[in-house]
Amino acid sequence: MLRRPRRNRKSEAVRNLVEETQLSVKDLIFPMFLVEGNNQKIEVASMPGIYRFSTDLMLKEIEECLKLGITAVDVFPAYPESKKDKIASESYNPETFYLKALREIKKNFPELCLMSDVAMDPYSSDGHDGLVREGRILNDETLEILSKMSLAQADAGVDILGPSDMMDGRVGYIREALDQNGFTDTSIMSYTAKYASAFYGPFRDALDSAPKFGDKKTYQMNPANSQEALIEADLDMEEGADFLMVKPALSYLDIIKLLSDNYPLPIAAYNVSGEYSMIKASAERGWIDGERAMVEMLTSIKRSGAKIILTYFAKEFASLQK
């Protein structure tokens, strides 16, 4: 035999020389959950090792992340029902705890890349990403609310806005509002191909943001479709997105590759809560090696074409590199 592929696998040193995909802490964004109050650190029951923090303790957690080499975080707020209404008005209240926390984070850690979430569901009494009227999710009427929310977050110092709502036209609407108000340097990481997935369950537990009726299938994508992702990506790029995201990641590696192969923009992938929790649950039962499974999963996401990975494993992975 002239060709023996095993020769390139004969030792760790040789394997390292021919390794095609390198996963780095620099690739990762750590999603974090924020609650109101002080001295609050509450574990998410369905996400072992993940917590909801009040601002004071989140600042300490971010400091620890920076020491591990994690330089980007995405902060999601958990609001009580008492502060929710049909138009998500709390989202652009300058005195709301989320916006005050974003300001505080950026003031304390100016070197941090700070990302935020743009969608109605954390603030909506209906639990949907858009304005609800007579049981329908209204698209165009939602855009103005998202615009107000985006401007408030940009004013708080956010580096990257993450519109996760999947309303048609929202990237262009937000980009125009940002530019008209002087926020030309604020980036948009569009949730371009966000699928109506079963893997979001633990996240909704963390934020108590599940829809109060129906589902999200009229605006999130059908898991059976791939060509539709190209339509969404075309629109987002034309409307001024700086990054294109695929969510979830693990069941949609083909979509990550599809966008990576067809668009010059950086592709992000969200390694979502259900993907995190299924590895954690299996590892707790001794069914799999959790550490190896984590690295294998993250590597597969990078290998498929993702330049950026949002993952709850960020701290755990970073700790392995120290």
Which residues are known to be catalytic? 194, 247
d(C-alpha 299, C-alpha 152), whole Å? 36
Interacting residues of 58 by C-beta distance below 8 A, sequence separation 6+: 32, 34, 75, 101, 105
Q: Find out whether 311 and 248 touch, Cβ atoms under 8 Å.
A: no
Interacting residues of 42 by C-beta distance below 8 A, sequence separation 6+: 35, 51, 52
Q: Find out whether 193 and 255 touch, Cβ atoms under 8 Å.
A: yes
d(C-alpha 225, C-alpha 195), whole Å? 9
* Main-chain dihedrals φ then ψ at residue 241, nearest 5 degrees: -65, 145
d(C-alpha 75, C-alpha 32), whole Å? 5
d(C-alpha 205, C-alpha 207), whole Å? 6
Give, in order, the Cα–Cα distances in Å from 113 to each of 50, 158, 208.
20, 8, 26
| Residue 252: burial class (beta carbons within 10 Å; 0-12, 13-18, 19+) | buried
Q: Please give the torsion angle defined by the CA atoms of residues 229, 230, 234 and 235, in that order, rounded to the nearest 10 degrees.
A: -30
Q: What is residue 126's DSSP assignment?
A: T
Interacting residues of 209 by C-beta distance below 8 A, sequence separation 6+: 78, 121, 122, 127, 203
